[in-house]
Amino acid sequence: MLFSRVAALLSQLEGIETHDPPLLPRIKDEAARGLVERWFKSNRQAIRELEVTGGVALLSTLLPEFRTDRVYGLQAPTLGRMLSRSLCLSATRTKDLQAYREPGRGDLGQCVERVLKGGGPPATPAVTVVEIDQVLLSLAEQCHFSDPTITANAPRSSSRDKDELIGRLLKRMSPIEAKWLVRLILKDFSPVTVDDKAVLRSYHFLLPDLLRFQNDFEAGLRLLQEPKLRDIPPQPDRRSESGYRAHAASAVQPVVGVKVGRPDFRKAWSIEHCLNMLGSHQWVLERKYDGEYCEIHIDMSLSRDPGKCIKIFSKSGKDSTQDRRKIHQTLVECLRLGQTDCKIKSRAILLGELVVYSDKEHRVLPFDQIRKHVWRSGVSLGTEADSPTGTHEHLAIVFYDLLLWDDEVVLIRPIEERRQWLREIYSKLQGRAMSSEWKIVDFSDTKRARNMLIQQFAASIAQRCEGLVLKPCNVPYFSLGSSPPDEPRTFIKLKKDYMAGFGDDGDYAVIGASYHAQRALDAGVSGLKWTDFHLGCLLNTDEVLRFNARPSYQLVGTVTSHACIPKPILKALNTFGAPLATITGADAGYDIKTDNHVRIDATFIIPFVLEVLGSGYDKPSNCAFYMLRHARGKKLHQDRSWRDCITFAELQEKALAARNHPSESESQETRKWLAKIEEKLKRRLDRDGTLTPRSRKIATPIVVHSERTSATNGTTVSRSHPSPTDRSLRGTFRKNELEGSTLVEKQTHHIARSLKRTAGTPCPAPKRHCVTGLDKSHNHIASGKHFCAVPKAYPLVDITNQTSSHLGAQENSALQDPPVKGFNRQNTPTLQPAFFPTPPSSAGCTGARCPFADSVVHIAPCVSSMPYITQDLLGSHSAVIASSLQHWNRDSNAYKPMTETVSESQSHVGLRKLVLVESKRVTGTRDVVQQVLSLNQGRLKERIEVYDWRMLERCVEHEMSHQELKRFQIGATMFNQGTKRTMFVTTIPHFVVDYESGGET
């Protein structure tokens, strides 16, 4: 098969991914999946002719990330220099090839495409996928990090040989083919993400299932050539697939020496989310130790030496037998290999977690200790700053599953049977070979199971484990046969960093940024200047705070756009960072100390404050300090200073406290976490007014119905509103409606606190002024006598600066606020108030004159940090909070919302826009007014009102007359039709501001 056909498919997938306007995720996935299926159908005859070798080449080309056994040792800079030499490029064309380093110029593949377009037609013959695979294999043979089976008999070659190998191939390729070859070598097709399930299923519908038993392309394709499977059509009728699977089941089993696939995992984002996924089935709760995955294959026919009968695969699928040779003797002893009482007669496959155990502390040590005991392709990596290995430290294995034992295919049996068989096959060795702790829990007993889940989760945290893994009972590890539709088929991971409020986090200073071309394409955000952001912690905190000394930062980590920074935060950092960035080498006003060779393209004069979440702490490679593991951005705080960020000393203290064994007893630590989890659940239950995940689905609160007449068609529509009595009973239900009870014995004691808490704004007050990656909104219960209704959601379509065309003149005049005192409308006929379209219905608001009903509020920076205002006063209303005035900048509707909350506010064209300021701070108020006037380049037609925050103190009862409101009004915007400019109208002289001059008029 010609490589040009594969390149055409990848180019079409790229067209779907970069479609303008962007496609919705569901539509995009369906289009990509349909394209892959049609491509395989149209090339079915050519695929049949490939046989096993050609099939492996085709799958390796489409899914390069599956070939973990191949490591090319080529990153973009190295590959770029190689391409320049192999193509004999001039200095000018070499510069064009290196343009991928600049933002907006594409990746290295696109640069190669542009360079080759200036040349002549490609040479003949055309390149095939088999030739591509052979070249990639030759490159992998020269890298010692490749699988030992690849590098064992590799011939020696020089860099010149690599250049000629690549050059001969490129000269026979078109520019499009060359682009995809470069991306194939880098194992990164960005912005395209090839759906591996669609590719494997389109090749042969049985292939995804076969690779679960033998996770190797060549092994899977050879299985399809077996006599029992050879006659099965690659794409039969869907109704016949189950029959073919049952027919193939007897011929498929794991093979010693070929890695077995891993089941699918799902993440539990909370205890309630976990309970919803568990249903009413029986599950095994298994403690997850923080180590490295080990798949141990035993083949007694290989040698008389028991140590040579062991083969170990890592999680990625690489052969790590020699890299983990320190565990071999432990395996020989615990499995009794070579002894007369050995239970393994011929072969076996076991699963375990490789950890480091301390005989001195009698516990499993943190994850970063492993790199001192294992190697990576025979090389010790990242250990330059680590302490020497202690005599009391050694590798240990924690067994948790058995897949094959002699002739018995154990993986088709349920987990509870597999664990019983595992118990028989090995002997425990103190501190060296052990079994993971596990327990069977029946979740049909809701109350008992929930309590057991919480207790086990708290105990795992107290013992410094990663968390829990939940595996369904009565379900095989893998199976080709049919299973009931309601049968659980995935494992569930429950870790504290997945759950809000339980992970290790902190505010870090973003001191620098870098650009990575491949990550920029993968981010799905246009116009990126930076993709990687570097985090720092102050080293000289006392000198900076007391004597205003020059700050000195320790660079502690980097978060990247690839799954570590949500898109809203990534956009905000690029937008707000542009005016604050300095060029490389320029003085940013502080010093940076780094232990690694990190490329920093730009530093920020004023560091940003980024809230970072991680899963525990460890020592980064070649570093002598601790940092969050798997750090990822959570929120960008715009109301906090870099002086408020965590210092280097504080970071080390938090890391040591989290890593060390609890100073108190383990039971006390468990009780502490148990109380924290229960308090989290009680807060959620109080807020939602429900008791269990099931009761939330079946309980129906009492409602009273009111009728209103639709303004559009005159029909009567029934609406439901909670009555005062209903609100007081919202958290209680009849016994026959419950299938379990809450952790709170007497729910009524918490009703008052529940009502007070749930009447707040959609986002927590202390966290309002931040850019978040995901903002989950909830429905809230009414509070007290009066209640401001949460605005009804409308589609994001009608967000313009014009009044809706269906509004009548009477409606417009009724919605406009009275003019500000001192402003003569008759003397300025060209002026008219900014349009204020019809807001969403506020019939549910008992305070008819509440200024915060159907309103969106921006709080000025000078008062945004006062909890009394943001939490106590404004928290009793249901106004939507705009974290930045830029969310109202609707110039041509081009400004994209940065958070879900802002998206909600922009979906209502009629939301009243209020700005709360501290009038005693004249300079700060004038700055806010200046920002308001600059919206839409000074041509914003929507009315924005500015008030002193003290109006909140007079609006406790959610009712305020117009005269009372005027007492706190600073001014409001008006649109001048003559000058086509926005004006700020006020009667207070020192608040008169002009947009163009920026000063007093």
**The CATH number of the domain where 83 resides is what?**
1.10.3260.10
Q: What is the DSSP string of 369-422?
A: GGGGT--BTTB--S-TTSPPPPTTEEEEEEEEEEEEETTEEGGGSBHHHHHHHH
Higher pLDDT, 459 or 685: 459
Whole-angstrom distance, CA of residue 436 vs CA of residue 301:
29
- List the alpha helices (DSSP H) in 660-723: 666-688, 693-698
Question: Max alpha carbon distance in the chain (Å)?
Answer: 109
Both 347 and 233 in one domain: the answer is no
Above 80 in pLDDT, residue 830? no
Both 448 and 303 in one domain: the answer is yes
Residue 819 has a pLDDT of 40
Can you say how many angstroms the Cα of residue 515 is from the centroid of all Cα atoms in its chain?
20
Both 368 and 307 in one domain: the answer is yes
Both 115 and 104 in one domain: the answer is yes
Q: Which helix (H) or strand (E) holds 707?
A: strand 704-709
Above 60 in pLDDT, residue 843? no
Residue 878 has a pLDDT of 65
Mean of the pLDDT values across residues 657-684? 74
Both 79 and 157 in one domain: the answer is yes
Q: How many domains does the chain have?
A: 5
Percent of the chain residues topping a pLDDT of 90: 42
Residue 636 has a pLDDT of 93
Residue 773 has a pLDDT of 54
SS3 for 763?
coil
Residue 847 has a pLDDT of 44
- 816 in a structural domain: no
Indicate the DSSP class of residue 626.
Answer: -
- 86 in a structural domain: yes
Both 275 and 181 in one domain: the answer is no
Where do we find the tokens 């926005």? 982
Residue 840 has a pLDDT of 37
User: pLDDT-derived band of residue 799, with 50, 70 and 90 as boundaries?
Assistant: very low
Q: What stretches of 456-499 adopt beta strand conformation (E)?
A: 467-472, 491-495
Query: pLDDT tens digit string along 4-52?
Result: 999 999 999 999 999 988 899 899 999 999 999 999 999 999 999 988 9
Higher pLDDT, 485 or 456: 456
214 exposure class (CB count in 10 Å sphere: 0-12, 13-18, 19+) = buried
Query: pLDDT tens digit string along 192-208?
Result: 999 999 999 999 999 99
Where do we find the tokens 């600059």? 934
- 792 in a structural domain: no
Where do we find the tokens 């937008």? 575
- Quick one: tokens of 482? 């049919």
Closest CA to 265 of 492, 494, 467: 492
Contact (Cβ atoms closer than 8 angstroms) between residue 136 and residue 57? no
Mean of the pLDDT values across residues 439-444? 90
Query: pLDDT tens digit string along 574-621?
Result: 999 999 998 767 788 899 998 777 889 999 999 999 999 998 899 998
Whole-angstrom distance, CA of residue 777 vs CA of residue 760:
12
Contact (Cβ atoms closer than 8 angstroms) between residue 979 and residue 966? no
- 259 in a structural domain: no
Whole-angstrom distance, CA of residue 348 vs CA of residue 314:
17
Above 60 in pLDDT, residue 892? no
- List the alpha helices (DSSP H) in 478-560: 517-523, 541-547
Above 50 in pLDDT, residue 963? yes
User: pLDDT-derived band of residue 502, with 50, 70 and 90 as boundaries?
Assistant: confident
Both 595 and 643 in one domain: the answer is yes
- Quick one: tokens of 33? 């999946």
User: pLDDT-derived band of residue 851, with 50, 70 and 90 as boundaries?
Assistant: confident
Residue 861 has a pLDDT of 87
Mean of the pLDDT values across residues 637-656? 92
- 1001 in a structural domain: no
- 525 in a structural domain: yes
Give 3-state DSSP helix, strand, coil % of the chain, rounded to 5: 40, 20, 45
Both 19 and 154 in one domain: the answer is yes
Contact (Cβ atoms closer than 8 angstroms) between residue 791 and residue 908? yes
Domain boundary pick from 606, 626, 659: 659
Q: What is the DSSP string of 787-800?
A: -PPPPPP--TT---
pLDDT, averaged across the chain:
79
Mean of the pLDDT values across residues 200-222? 93
Mean of the pLDDT values across residues 940-964? 82
- 813 in a structural domain: no
- Quick one: tokens of 862? 């000078």
Higher pLDDT, 242 or 219: 219
Both 246 and 277 in one domain: the answer is no
Above 80 in pLDDT, residue 757? no
Q: What stretches of 124-201 adopt beta strand conformation (E)?
A: none
Both 222 and 246 in one domain: the answer is yes
Of 303-312, 342-351, 950-959, give the lowest mean pLDDT range: 950-959
Residue 121 has a pLDDT of 82
Whole-angstrom distance, CA of residue 90 vs CA of residue 753:
74
Residue 480 has a pLDDT of 79
Residue 399 has a pLDDT of 95
Cα separations in angstroms, 148 against 120, 290, 380, 585, 910: 41, 27, 16, 43, 67
Contact (Cβ atoms closer than 8 angstroms) between residue 915 and residue 940? no
Of 284-298, 546-560, 947-961, give the lowest mean pLDDT range: 947-961
Domain boundary pick from 659, 687, 702: 659
User: pLDDT-derived band of residue 996, with 50, 70 and 90 as boundaries?
Assistant: low
Q: At 970, which CATH number? A: 3.40.50
Query: pLDDT tens digit string along 255-269?
Result: 999 999 998 899 988
Where do we find the tokens 């699977």? 245
Q: At 632, which CATH number? A: 2.40.50.140
- 991-994, Cβ contacts within 8 angstroms, sequence gap of 24 or more: 991/922, 991/925, 991/926, 991/929, 993/926, 993/929, 993/930, 993/933, 994/933
Q: At 440, which CATH number? A: 3.30.470.30
Domain that holds residue 217: 204-252
Above 60 in pLDDT, residue 734? no
Indicate the DSSP class of residue 835.
Answer: B
Above 50 in pLDDT, residue 716? no
Whole-angstrom distance, CA of residue 7 vs CA of residue 577:
37
Mean of the pLDDT values across residues 161-170? 87
Higher pLDDT, 901 or 214: 214
Both 173 and 227 in one domain: the answer is no
Of 119-123, 154-158, 845-849, 993-997, give the lowest mean pLDDT range: 845-849
Residue 920 has a pLDDT of 87
Above 60 in pLDDT, residue 792? no
pTM above 0.85, yes or no: no
Query: pLDDT tens digit string along 106-118?
Result: 999 999 999 998 7
User: pLDDT-derived band of residue 993, with 50, 70 and 90 as boundaries?
Assistant: confident
Where do we find the tokens 């016994």? 735
Whole-angstrom distance, CA of residue 206 vs CA of residue 244:
9
Ramachandran quadrant class, 802 (left: phi over 0; alpha: psi -120 to 50; beta: rest): beta
User: pLDDT-derived band of residue 890, with 50, 70 and 90 as boundaries?
Assistant: low
Mean of the pLDDT values across residues 917-942? 87
Indicate the DSSP class of residue 326.
Answer: G
Residue 884 has a pLDDT of 81
Query: Helix 108-117 vs helix 76-86: angle between axes, to the nearest 10 degrees?
Result: 20
Of 109-113, 456-460, 572-576, 899-903, give the lowest mean pLDDT range: 899-903
Q: Is the dihedral of CA 312, 314, 317, 323 positive or negative?
A: negative
Closest CA to 271 of 614, 681, 669: 681
Mean of the pLDDT values across residues 411-439? 92
Closest CA to 940 of 968, 970, 915: 915
- Quick one: tokens of 633? 């951005």
List b or e across 943-964, with b for residues whose CB sees 16 or more CB atoms inside 10 angstroms: bbbbbbbebbeebeebbbeeee
Mean of the pLDDT values across residues 83-107? 90
Query: pLDDT tens digit string along 330-359?
Result: 999 999 999 999 999 999 999 999 999 999
Query: pLDDT tens digit string along 937-946?
Result: 888 888 899 9
Residue 743 has a pLDDT of 28
- 343 in a structural domain: yes
Both 565 and 468 in one domain: the answer is no
Q: Which helix (H) or strand (E) holds 51?
A: helix 51-62
Contact (Cβ atoms closer than 8 angstroms) between residue 731 and residue 754? yes
Mean of the pLDDT values across residues 877-882? 74
Measure the CA angle with vertex 382, ends 323 and 464; round to 5°. 85
Cα separations in angstroms, 145 against 23, 78, 319, 325: 40, 16, 11, 17
Domain boundary pick from 625, 659, 693: 659
Residue 894 has a pLDDT of 41
User: pLDDT-derived band of residue 180, with 50, 70 and 90 as boundaries?
Assistant: very high
Contact (Cβ atoms closer than 8 angstroms) between residue 752 and residue 784? no
Above 80 in pLDDT, residue 705? no
